[in-house]
Amino acid sequence: MKTTRHLLPFIIIVLVASSALAPADFLQDLQRSYEQYRVRYQPVRISMAFNQPLYAPGDTAFFAIWYTREDLTPVKGNQLINVDLIAGNGSTVQRARFKVKEGKGNNQLAISKRLPPGEYRLLAYTDWMKNAGDSWFYQKKLRIVTKKKLATSFPEQPGFYPEGGQMVEGYNNRIALVGPPAVEYVVRETSGAEVARVTTDSTGFAIFMLSAKSG
C-alpha cells in the first residue's frame, strides 16, 4: 500500500499533463486535416467565352474555357469537361466532352440542325464537380434563332473575358476578346495609351495580355 500511495500522485500528474496536452494535439490534428481537405477538395470553377451571342441550328459554337480553383489558379493536368445543352422542358438535347490542359482550352460545339429555335441552358462541369452538386456548375443561357434573325443579331461592340473569370491585380492577365471575325481592335488605357492591338480570327476570337493596375 505504501508503494501505491507513492505512485498515485505520479499517476494523477501524468493524467493531468496528458489531458492538458490533448486539446492542443487535437487542434493541430484538426487544422492539419482541414488543410489537407482544402488542398484535395478546394472549390473549383469553370468559365467560358463564346464567339457569338446567338446561334442557328447547324451552327458551330466556338469557345474558350478555363478550369480554375477558387483562387483563380489553373487546375493542373488534363481534365475532361462535360457540356450539356438542356431544353426548356428540362431534357438534355445534346451532350459532349472536351479536354482542357493546365486549366484552359479552346474547342467547339456543333449545334444540331434538328434543334428548334428557343432558349436553351448550357451546363459545363467535371465528374468530380458532381460530388458537390450543381451549385459549382458553369451555367449559361444559349439562344438558338433562325438563320434570318442571326444575320442581323451580331453585336458591334466586342466582349472581353479575363482568363478565370476576373482580372488579378499585379499580374499579366490573359484576356479573350470576342467579336465579329477578322476585325482589328486597339485596346487603350483611359489616358489613351495603346496597350494591345489584336485581330479576331475566323471564329471571332482573339487573345491578348493585359496587366491589371489599381485605380
Q: Is residue 18 part of a domain?
A: no
Which residues partner with 173 through β-bridges? 210
Burial readout 23-39 (b: 16 or more C-beta within 10 A, e: otherwise): eeeeeeeeeeeeeeeee
Q: Provide the pLDDT for residue 5.
A: 44
pTM of the prediction? 0.61
If one counts the domains in the chain, the total is 1
On whether residue 19 sits in a domain, the answer given is no
94 inside domain: yes
pLDDT at 83 over 90: yes
Q: How confident is the model at residue 214 (pLDDT cuts 50, 70, 90)?
A: low
The pLDDT-based confidence of 98 (bands split at 50, 70, 90) is very high
Q: State the CATH number of the domain containing residue 157.
A: 2.60.40.1930
Positive or negative, the CA dihedral 148, 149, 154, 159 is negative
Q: How confident is the model at residue 100 (pLDDT cuts 50, 70, 90)?
A: very high
User: Where does residue 87 rank: exposed (0-12), middle (13-18), buried (19+ CB within 10 A)?
Assistant: middle
pLDDT band at 166 (very low <50, low <70, confident <90, very high): confident
Whether residue 119 is contained in a domain is answered as: yes
SS3 5: helix
Written as one letter, the residue type at 42 is: Q
- 156, pLDDT greater than 90: no
pLDDT-based confidence at residue 22 (cuts at 50, 70, 90): low
